[in-house]
Every structure is written in structure tokens, then in C-alpha cells.
Amino acid sequence: MRKRWISLLVTGLLVGGAVAPASPALAAPTFKVPFPCGQSWSGQTRSDHSPAYAIDFNRTDDQGDPVVASAPGTVDRVTDLGGTSYGKYVRIDHGGGYTTYYAHLSGFNVSVGQTVGYGKVIGWVGSTGGSTGPHLHYEQRLNGNDIQARFNGTLALYWGTKTYTSGNGCSSGSGNGTVDTSGTPLTVRSGPGTGYASVGTVADGTRVTISCQTSGTTVTGTYGTSSIWDRIGSGRYIADAYVYTGYDGYIPNVPRC
């Protein structure tokens, strides 16, 4: 394995040397959905929005829900425009000319000059300014101009409404669990469901490392009925219903696959 690793490293250096520009432009930050890890929000874009590429986010009973920083940066505006426009809004400067805006907030949780990271709560969803109901008005800008938003590098839907699930502030760490089948080996599948191919088994009592969790086929096992599947390796999933993790449902801070 050591030999393979050295070979990859050398290749990487050669490629890097060949394509690196003399004065590389600052890469765009990796923006994430501006809500806590694991939450799903409906994001709407529409051509008559101002500015056009802004996204309005909603979910059920969203008044007062926490809004988090899309990417690391420095808060450079915490402003209340009163009953007009953005109302209470926060702007974060991410460097390289990139900023993000979070508007119509009901309250602030940061101050100007504060450094924020992924997942930092900056304020709460509200309906301040020229808003007719609770939602988060969100923008990504480059050099002051609004740009089509990207999350994890993937372009948002223009135009229309789409559900975005947050991977913001999720621990990059993993979770642990212990397989408990009362004796029988547990089938490992190539994907999160019983319809995926069997790619092996894990013995009862095996301690597993869970890199992420996702929903799939509903399974009834030792710990009840659950549609959660645990990824325990590349292309290797087991039903969470047979895994003792210490938690009902998803393990806090373990990311969604």
C-alpha cells in the first residue's frame, strides 16, 4: 500500500504543477444550505424575485427557526431596515469578493466583526421588512452582484421550488454502533435497502463505524422498525434497526449520506 500511495502523491504533484496558474484566483467558498445539519427546507427561486437569484426558504412552522452561516467568514453587516426591504438582515463576507445575505430575520445572534464557521447560528427566521410571512430570504453575491446559488458546489434550481437538505455543520466525524441480531449474521447491502445486492455479512456483536446515515427500505429488527440505513464502508450499508447506536433515529452529528 505504501508503494501505491507514493505513486499517487507523485502524480498529484505533477498534475498540480502543470495546471496551477501563476496567480490563482480565489476559489468560491463551499456554500452549504443555511440551516442546521440534517434539516430539509423548501427553496424557491423565481425570475421576478429581487434580486433575481435570491432563494426564499420555507418549512412548516418556520418562524423562529435558527439560520446558520453558509460558509466560514466574517459578519460585516447586522442591520435592521425596519418595515422595508430586508428588515433585519445579516451579511457575511467570505473573502474573495463572496458575500451571503440572510434577510427578514426575527432576531440576531451575531455582531459585526464576528468570525463565524459552518453551522454557526446567526439569527432566526422571521418576517421583518417587506415580508408577508415567515421565510428566509437568502443570497450569494460575488463583488456585490447576486449570483446563482450553489450548495456543496451544486447549482440551485433555477427556476422553481426544490427541497434542500442541509449538510451544514455536520460533524466530519463518524458514529459507532454494535450489530445486534441475536445470533444471525446481518446482511450487508450495496445500497440503503433490501433490494440492493448482498455484498457480505457482519457477525452479531460486531462493532461498526458509521460514516453516514440515510433513509431506505423500512426494516423491523432488534431495535424496532426503522427506515434508517448505516453506511459502514464504501458501497456497504446495514439496516439501523439491527444496530445499537444509543439513539432512536439518526445519530446526532453523523452526516446524511
Interface residue list for Zn ion (CB under 5 A): 54, 56, 137
Q: Which is nearer to Zn ion, 55 or 239 (CB)?
A: 55
Considering the complex, what minimum distance in angstroms separates the CB of residue 12 from Zn ion?
A: 43
User: In angstroms, rounded to a whole number, what is the distance separating the alpha carbons of residues 72 and 164?
Assistant: 20
Tell me which residue of 79, 97, 99, 74 sits closest to 89, measured CA to CA: 79
| Residue 159 cell numbers, joined | 427556476
Residue nearest to Zn ion (CB): 137
Q: Which is nearer to Zn ion, 139 or 240 (CB)?
A: 139
Considering the complex, what minimum distance in angstroms separates the CB of residue 132 from Zn ion?
A: 10
Considering the complex, what minimum distance in angstroms separates the CB of residue 67 from Zn ion?
A: 13
In the block, residue with C-alpha cell 431596515 = 81
What count of Cα atoms within 13 Å lies in the side-chain half-sphere of residue 202? Answer: 23
Considering the complex, what minimum distance in angstroms separates the CB of residue 54 from Zn ion?
A: 5
Considering the complex, what minimum distance in angstroms separates the CB of residue 170 from Zn ion?
A: 26
* Cβ pair 237, 189 in contact under 8 A: yes
What's the Cα-to-Cα distance from 102 to each of 58, 78, 223, rounded to whole Å?
A: 13, 10, 41
Q: Which is nearer to Zn ion, 56 or 62 (CB)?
A: 56
Tell me which residue of 165, 176, 138 sits closest to 256, measured CA to CA: 165
Tell me which residue of 184, 197, 198, 191 sits closest to 242, measured CA to CA: 184
Q: Which is nearer to Zn ion, 20 or 48 (CB)?
A: 48
Considering the complex, what minimum distance in angstroms separates the CB of residue 39 from Zn ion?
A: 19
Q: Which is nearer to Zn ion, 54 or 238 (CB)?
A: 54
Considering the complex, what minimum distance in angstroms separates the CB of residue 55 from Zn ion?
A: 8
Q: What is the DSSP letter of 231?
A: E
User: In angstroms, rounded to a whole number, what is the distance separating the alpha carbons of residues 154 and 175?
Assistant: 26
Q: Which is nearer to Zn ion, 49 or 236 (CB)?
A: 49
What's the Cα-to-Cα distance from 74 to each of 52, 111, 114, rounded to whole Å?
A: 25, 10, 6
10: helix, strand or coil: helix
φ, ψ of residue 179 to 5 degrees: the values are: -70, 130
Q: Which is nearer to Zn ion, 128 or 226 (CB)?
A: 128
